[in-house]
A = this chain, B = another copy of it.
Amino acid sequence: MSELDPGKQEIMDATFRALSKHGYGDLTIQRIADEFDKSKSLLYYHYDSKEELLADAVNYTTQQFIDELQLADASPTAQLRHLVDRLLPETIDSEQRKTQVALLELRSQVPHVEVYAEQYTEVDTLLKETLTDIIENGIAQDEFVDVDAAREAELLVSILSGMRTRRLTSADFSAEDARDALHAHLTARLFKQPSSGE
């Protein structure tokens, strides 16, 4: 299905609504169709299985997300702070939480469903590459100390992934403490000087 298809966003919204309502185990393509206002045959025409539809939903959501992570024409420091703020905002509303819960649920199915495995591998690779680029630029522009960019990106992907999962699954997780720990890490390991607003 084309990325530009105007009905796509509505299909994706219906998919996440159905997933939130029924949970992965009880989700069927019929239940997704029930959440979709337009022609249900359109949905059946494009997707053969719930797995295919859900993989596309992961791809669509994360592509949008990755696009929003990038800040053109900003300094590497500002880009990195922006990325952290997008992935680990101070607060999330109930809609954001629902989407993140759905994405975690689908990620946990990766070992069982190959088409999810491809999506999540792509997501992680894209995020790691984006971080590596920002760190390399930061070093080149003398904003960051001279670290191994790929190694630091590897660490940051895991920190962000771990904090996002814990936010959804640990009652005593504090987003404030997590963000403090992450910013302290960046200040100690990466930034040459404390930037304003810290």
Contact = CB atoms under 8 A, between A and B. Distances in A.
Interface in A151-176: 151-152, 154-155, 157-163, 165-166, 168-173
A120 interface: yes
Nearest to A103: B108
Contacts of A24: 24-25
B181 A107 contact: no
How many identical chains are in the complex?
Answer: 2
B117 A171 contact: yes
Contact residue range for chain A?
35 or more
A16 B48 CA distance: 31
Interface stretch (A35-43, A59-67, A184-192): A184-192
Contacts of A161: 161-162, 165-166
A182 interface: yes
Contacts of A118: 171
B170 A162 contact: no
Interface in A11-32: 23-26
Nearest to A104: B108
A84 interface: no
A129 B168 CA distance: 20
A55 interface: no
B162 A158 contact: yes
A121 to B, nearest CB: 4
A161 B160 CA distance: 10
> What are the nearest 3 A-B pairs in CB distance?
A25-B25, A162-B162, A158-B162
14 contacts: A107-B165, A107-B169, A108-B108, A120-B169, A120-B170, A121-B172, A148-B184, A151-B180, A151-B184, A154-B181, A157-B162, A158-B163, A159-B162, A188-B189
